[in-house]
A and B are shown apart, each in its own frame.
Chain A
Amino acid sequence: MELLRSIFDLLFGSDPELRQIIAVTLRMSFFSTLLSSLIGIPLGVLLGANKFRGKAFVTRLVNTFLGLPPVVAGLIVLLLLSRSGPFGSLRLLYTVDAMVIAQLLLITPFIIAMTANLVGVNSMAINETLAGVGIGGVKRLKYFLLDFRVPFISIVLAGFGRSIAEVGAVQMVGGNVQYKTRVMTTAIMMQTNMGRFDFAITLGLILLLISFLVNSVVQHIQKVTADD
């Protein structure tokens, strides 16, 4: 009961650190998802809608990165941004920017793969039609982006879900610095290590809540388009 009460207090009280953590988390996940989508969706369309030499190899490469463990992505970015690394002079380590960069490595392949998969299944007929009316090149890419905008939203939100739930990479390159790079997942780890389970569970509940909202939006979009 005591646990429940302290969860309630934290959720509806005014713990400034809790709100700070949520804000940093949303900021990080927003930019990771935005940039990954801007890179990943066009590349995914190109990969899915076209036949070219080496397509199987590129697909395999993307799928390999899909299996990249977050801690490895974190390690790579850590070494790159470290004071003794090639980009050390940028002083990016232990900033939200570093966390976004590490997440790009994790989420972009995911978005490319999902997009390519989606477009690939449906591309044959569309390609024939477009070729029939003489549309090609950039215009064709535009057409795909427009035509698949609804399922793309699901993909983007799935990417957001990955970003917000990720812990290994952001812990390594973010450093879990209070008021600066502490996000929900790293805070949960830390609070659990400190034995403060009430705070950890509260954060877990908020994560679930955000995930629920994201899924509600996805479902709503899917329903609306099904009605069309």
Chain B
Amino acid sequence: MKSIKKIIVLSLILILLLSTFGCTQEPENKVLRMSTTTSVNDSGLMAYLQPVFEEATGYTLEITSAGTGAAIEKGRMGDADMLLVHSKSAEEEFIGEGFNEERLPFMYNFFVIVGPADDPAGVAGSATAAEAFQKIADSGALFISRGDSSGTHNKENAIWNSIELDPAGQPWYQSVGQGMGQTLTIADEQQAYTLSDKATFLAHEDSLAMHLEETDDMKNTYSMIIISADRFPESNVAGAQAFVDWIKTDQARQMIAEYGMSEYGEPLFFNQE
């Protein structure tokens, strides 16, 4: 018994020692923790910008991604120095809680409505996403909702609200609470419509077709929010500011404007003027 106790005590000491090792290896405030959404991360944009940013500024960027709701929650809990998200209403709520004074919009793209190739609800050619949603509701064609409080889901809700229609509980409406990729897979399997960001849809392999894009009510604006040091003193505000400054340089703007051109023949993101 004694030897077992000894082993336990020794291993505890070892764990403690190792954990302090980990701490000393990270230079303080050289690490910038960014919390972003799956659509930004899955599109590959961050992986593409990251090495250039790190080389230009000397910071190490640590990116975690989740749906916008969870991405913002990480900021709320002090697990991130800055947010890069795309849901105006959720961002404004967050700012209202005193985490910072402003959100910094810096790029945008458009959501798309995708669905079965034969377009049973006839949404192609609609003037607005609202009109397309009305057609889907009228036809009773299946619609898959992200249902996960993500930026995409919030946009979808805003469109339903604009035609004063509450789809929850309708037989043609399924809420799956999953990421964009899985939601597209489910929509493909069920031959259903869904609202997607364009980047994820283009990168996803399925039989669905894009029926509506680039309407005003599907504009998707990405913003940055620096987590104020007032709330979390350890927040790396200097690092976050370095990213905000860098993303506005000509070099970064050109990289964003060109991203996706070689693979899809069109840009996936546009710089905010």
Contact = CB atoms under 8 A, between A and B. Distances in A.
Interface in B63-102: 66-67, 69-70, 72-74, 76
9 contacts: A171-B178, A175-B178, A175-B182, A178-B147, A194-B69, A194-B148, A195-B69, A195-B149, A196-B149
Contact of B174 (A178, A186, A196): A178
A195 B177 contact: no
Interface string A176-219: 11111010001100101111110000000000000000000000
Contact of B73 (A93, A186, A190, A195): A195
B178 A194 contact: no
A171 B185 CA distance: 13
A93 B174 contact: no
Given A177-B186, A194-B148, A195-B70, 4 more contacts: A176-B178, A193-B148, A195-B72, A197-B73
Nearest to A88: B189
Contact of B148 (A94, A175, A177, A190): A190
Contacts of B148: 190, 193-194
Interface in A153-190: 171, 175-180, 182, 186-187, 190
Contact of B190 (A94, A178, A187): A94
A82 interface: yes
Interface in B153-206: 169, 174-179, 182, 186, 188-191
A142 interface: no
B189 A94 contact: yes
B70 A177 contact: no
Q: 3 tightest A-B contacts by CB?
A: A195-B73, A190-B177, A178-B175
Interface string A19-60: 000000000000000000000000000000000000000000
B73 to A, nearest CB: 3
A177 B69 contact: no
Q: Which of A176, A187, A194 has the most CB of B within 10 A?
A: A194
Nearest to A172: B182
B176 A177 contact: yes
Report whether over half of chain B's contact residues are helix, strand or loop; otherwise say mixed.
mixed
B176 A193 contact: no
A83 interface: yes
A82 B189 contact: yes
Contacts of B177: 176, 178, 182, 186-187, 190, 194
A195 B186 CA distance: 23
A192 B70 contact: yes
B149 A194 contact: yes
A39 to B, nearest CB: 28
B186 A193 contact: no
A216 to B, nearest CB: 31
A83 B191 CA distance: 9
A177 B150 CA distance: 16
B166 to A, nearest CB: 14
Contacts of A190: 148, 177-178
A83 B179 CA distance: 21
B176 to A, nearest CB: 5
B190 A193 contact: no
B142 to A, nearest CB: 11
A180 B186 CA distance: 14
